[in-house]
Structure 1
Amino acid sequence: MSRSPLIPILLLMVGFGSLFGLAQSNYLLFHVLVELSCVVIAACGFVVLWFGRANIQNGFFLIFGGTLLPIASLTLLHALAYKGMGVFQGMDPDPATQLWIASRGLLAGSMAVGAIFLGRRPKPWLVLCLGSLAALALGSSILLIPVFPSCFVEGQGLTSFKIWAEYGICGLLGMSAWLLWKARERFEAHVLRALLAASGMGVASEMSFTLYSDVYGLMNLVGHLFAVGLFGLLLQALVRVGIQRPQDLLLRELSLREEALRSSEALFSAAFRANPEAMVIFRLKDGSIQEVNRGFLDLTGYAKEEVLGRTGEEL
């Protein structure tokens, strides 16, 4: 018996409603729960990708999935640095905002790069190392050597850099969605919908973060709820391709390669037959003739049946 699609929708509404209610009474607790949820989801997504990487040929999942652990690390630092947490003494709201931009920039960048190179299979270790180096550099530029541009000035609000950075992240997410749609034949419909919806959630989240002036404000709250939805959808897609139905992605990749091979063979065959010059295809093992074109038959006067299977010495 199939489960009603209304059940997960209702559960999602209840969960978001509960978080919204919590935010009205204790915003700091709401923020910690939301960010820790994103961290846990991202870490789980990385684990799914890492242990299922042998069965995944699609470069998109290997690239964005391989950077989820570094992204989770930056997100955790963002949660710890948030105003009111008291983990980093004497810190204003700016570092937490900078860490948010860093983590979301890395996420959007990995999705865009993954969409560009989805037809390739990068080494998972290399992706993890590059993502970790990027996260280390970004985190250090904010917390250790403060050279990262300011994103939030208390009493004034968001800086121009923060707003334009959010627009840039939206652009990367939109580009990745467009590239994924162009290559939709490489994805199962359920997975593609989840990825496109995640990109949409990401854009909605980042746009919300261009509109707040208070780190405890309504638009900040809305942006965090969209962020949870983004990570949840990405995890759903990874679980689908890494655990539930990994064979679908493999079969889809094999089918595309076979189709490309058939197209290449048909193109070569057409060019071979149409070439006016005499052309012969030999078998490497014994030198026997496998195929000849019209140019060869016209030049030699042989019938095709007379030459196939024979060597040059036998003619």
Structure 2
Amino acid sequence: RFMDNNYFLFIGIACLFVGLLDLLHALAYKNMGVFHRNDANLATQLWVSARYLQSVSFFLAPFFIKRKMKAEAVVAGCAAVTALFIAAIFTWGIFPECFVEGAGLTRFKIISEYLIALLLLGSLAFVRARRQAFDPEVIRLLTSSLALLSASELAFTLYTDVFGVSNMVGHLLKVFGFFFMYKAVIEIGLTRPYDLLFRELAKSEEKFRLLAENAQDIIYRFRLLPVPCFEYVSPSVTRITGYTPEEHYADPELALKMVHPDDRHLLKEMNLSPESARPRQFYMRWLRKDGRILWTEQHNKLTYNAEGKVASIMGIARDVTDRKESEEKIEILNTELAARASELEALNTELEAFNYSVSHDLRAPLSNISGSCEVLLMDVYAEALDDQGKYFVRSIHGQTKRMNHLIDAMLNFSRVNRQELCRVEVDLSNMALAISVELKMKQPDRRVSFTIAEGAKCYGDPVLLRTVLHNLIGNAWKYTGKQESAEIEFGMTNAEGKTVFYVRDNGAGFDAAQVHKLFRPFHRLHASSEFEGFGVGLATVQRIIHRHGGQIAAEGEVGKGATFSFTLQAGKTVPAQATETMRVRAIHLNP
């Protein structure tokens, strides 16, 4: 009942029925007068049937090592086989003859003994292969027993007289074989039951002892009743705290002494009222033997005695000092980050106020200057100015207009990061077409050919994405202004699994070595006298693309045009439209 090795139980049940057949074999000998048949063949038949049951049982027994077995089923099986043998010999008379008076053993008897010997040797091989399941002394006794039983079967193939020497030798070998089996199962099982019944438990205990002694964490068991003391503390306590296990065993109060004064109430509460609903996991500061502070994470489990009272506390303590210090640093960084965020919020508020000031306070004087210049250029006052005076007035008027546009550009650039995104499906093809038409209406005399891919769609903020296309297509329009036949293309393609939108032109282009300067605010690669502008358009485009989780890149060559390509956040485009070959719509805007 207490063993998980069913080998011996199977052998024991089988031997009960083997013994029954052996008893009948002994009673069937000549002159015993028990059975009406008074010949040697009956005893030999019963002997062979008993040996078959014995050898087959021994052969099958190793398969029940570490396997579940229903004893009732084994008893029923052995009883059925025994009953069949008895019926075949006594009732039906169909069991083959084994001994003939005057002639000796039959061929069936000799072959059966060899077969039985082979089965016993096979059983021996199986037992040796699974010797880890047995005590070393038990495996030696089993080996001797099975070897002797196999030898006895061979001896029984040589005799011609049931009272001959060979027959006697076979019986003696059988007695010694069962003697060793008795020693293995009965004597050791009774005199040293733990070696046999609880061998696996001892091995398991050794395994967990080695695990505890080599664990990086502290494993402990503290007894509360009847006298508080440490029953076990793993050796890792010395490395972590500086105190040895022996010091804990000698001083039950050491657990309280080494706890940080500010955390001792946790330990006191646990010892004074262990039944309280405390969390099983908690953190506590300890004082090392050298005075340093360390943080521990503890997991405790309570054990109870028969009266239902808490008898001991088993637990694991882990040194989490590095983790706690990291958490404290992260907390400090988060506090500093929150302070910086607050400062940035204040700066943004100031920037908003500045923008408001620029929008209202600076525009008013500029409007007055611009209006005054327009008045001076009217007929009434124009006559009082010579040509040089008129030139100066026109220059002032032009600069005020330029200053007003620069203020608009600055305000638009500052609003990009603060404007809330509203993502919807956007048809960039239709948006590009509308921008192209607007540009053509402003300069209807230009020869420009627009090529716009159809079905270029994405998810994003329609207002901000229109700003992107307006800047990119507007730049292409501006920098192709000196081309006799300008070409501007908007399209979409796939690159490394990403949807890429692009705007390409055959305009002035730029030096590829200066590409890193393109997206700097208020930085231009072309002089204002050559192409007008303030240098904030591409910087604005980059900010919008980044807010959409994408990237923007530029390629160009002086005199051969430029290509600006951009991506949006992965998964936010409409992939069904992103094909390698797209239908395009060519729009020729000629004078």
| TM-score (norm. length: structure 2) | 0.34
1:224 aligns with 2:171: yes
Within the alignment, does 1:82 sit opposite 2:33 as a pair? no
Which residue in 2 is equivalent to 1:268? none
Native 8 Å contact 1:55 1:242 kept in 2? no
User: For residue 72 of structure 2, what is the amino acid of its counterpart?
Assistant: W
Post-superposition CA distance 1:93-123 (Å, at most 9, x none): 1111011111111111111100123221312
State whether structure 2 residue 140 is matched by structure 1 residue 190: no
The whole-number CA distance in structure 2 between the counterparts of 1:112 and 1:176 is: 4
Which one has the largest radius of gyration? 2
Q: Which residue of 1 aligns with 2:9?
A: 62
Aligned residue number for residue 128 of structure 1: 75
Alignment partner, residue 311 of structure 2 = none
- Deviation of the 1:140 alpha carbon: 1.5
Q: CA deviation at 1:241?
A: 5.2
Q: 1:62, 1:122 within 8 Å by CA — same for their partners in 2?
A: no
Q: Whose relative contact order is higher, 1 or 2, with alpha carbons under 8 Å and at least 6 apart?
A: 1
1:98 pairs with 2:45: yes
What displacement does 1:244 show? 2.3
CA RMSD of aligned residues (A): 2.3
**Equivalent runs, 1:172-187 vs 2, <5 Å:** 172-187=119-134
The answer on whether the counterparts of 2:189 and 2:197 sit within 8 Å (CA) in structure 1 is no
Q: Check whether the contact 1:97–1:151 (CA below 8 A) recurs between aligned residues.
A: yes
Question: For each residue in 1:181-212, what CA deviation from the matched residue of structure 2 results, as whole angstroms up to 9, or x when unmatched?
Answer: 11111111111111111111101111110000
Displacement of 1:259: 11
Look up the match of 1:163.
110
Q: How many residues align?
A: 210
Deviation of 1:57 after TM superposition, in Å, equals 2.0
Look up the match of 1:281.
Answer: none
2:101 is matched with: 154
Amino acid at match of 1:175: G
Report the Cα distance in structure 2 between the residues aligned to 1:105 and 1:257, rounded to whole angstroms: 38
* Cα distance, 1:112–1:259 mapped onto 2, change above 3 Å: farther
Task: Specify whether residues 125 and 84 from structure 1 end up closer, same or farther in structure 2 by C-alpha distance, changes over 3 A only.
Answer: same
Counterpart residue number, 2:18? 71
| Equivalent of 1:237 in 181, 184, 209 | 184
Which structure 2 residues correspond to residues 1-315 of structure 1 after superposition, within 5 A? 54-240=1-187, 242-254=189-201
Residues 258, 101 of structure 1: alpha-carbon distance in 2 compared, 3 angstrom cutoff: farther
Matching residue's letter, 1:60: Y
Q: Deviations over 1:56-107 (max 9, x none)?
A: 3212111111111111110000000012322212332111101111111111
Tell me which moved more, 241-250 or 138-147: 241-250
C-alpha distance 186-216 of structure 1, shift in aligned 2 (>3 A): same
**Alpha-carbon distance, 1:258 to partner:** 9.2
Q: Gaps (5+ residues) in structure 1?
A: 1-53, 261-304, 307-315
Change in Cα spacing, 1:182 to 1:79, as seen in structure 2 (3 Å) is: same
**Are the aligned partners of 2:65 and 2:133 in contact in 1 as well (CA < 8 Å)?**
no
Is the 1:111–1:176 contact (alpha carbons within 8 Å) kept by the matching residues of 2? yes
Amino acid at match of 1:73: L
Equivalent AA in structure 2 for residue 93 of structure 1: A
Q: Is the 8 A contact 1:194 1:236 kept in 2?
A: yes
Q: Distance in 2 between matches of 1:189 and 1:161?
A: 38
- Is the Cα–Cα contact under 8 Å of residues 13 and 75 in structure 2 kept in the other structure? yes
Q: Secondary structure at the match of 1:67?
A: helix
Q: Which has the higher helix share?
A: 1
Deviations 1:205-249 (A, max 9, x none): 111100000011110111111111122111111114532223223
Cα distance, 1:257–1:123 mapped onto 2, change above 3 Å: farther
Q: Is the 8 A contact 1:56 1:242 kept in 2?
A: no
1:125 to 1:243, Cα distance in 2 relative to 1, 3 A: farther
Q: In the TM superposition, what whole-angstrom CA distance separates every residue of 1:10-54 from its partner, at most 9, and x where no partner exists?
A: xxxxxxxxxxxxxxxxxxxxxxxxxxxxxxxxxxxxxxxxxxxx1
CA contact (8 A) 1:157 1:214 kept: yes
Contact 1:151 1:159 in 2 (8 A): yes
Q: In the alignment, what sits opposite 2:232?
A: none
Give the residue type in structure 1 aligned to 2:46. Answer: L
Per-residue Cα deviation, 1:129-188 (whole angstroms, up to 9, x for no partner): 211221111122112221111111111111111111101111111011111111111111
1:75 and 1:103 in contact (8 A); partners too: yes
Which amino acid in structure 2 is aligned with residue 178 of structure 1?
Answer: A
Question: Which residue in the other structure is 2:453 paired with?
Answer: none
The TM-score, its normalising length taken from structure 1, stands at 0.62
Q: For 1:149 and 1:241, how far apart are their aligned partners in 2?
A: 40
Contact 1:206 1:223 (C-alpha < 8 Å) held by counterparts? yes
Equivalent residue of 1:214, what SS?
coil
Alpha-carbon contact 1:205-1:223 (below 8 Å) kept:
yes
| Runs (5+) with no aligned partner, structure 2 | 208-325, 328-591
Partner of 2:419: none
Contact 1:58–1:119 (Cα < 8 Å) also in 2? yes
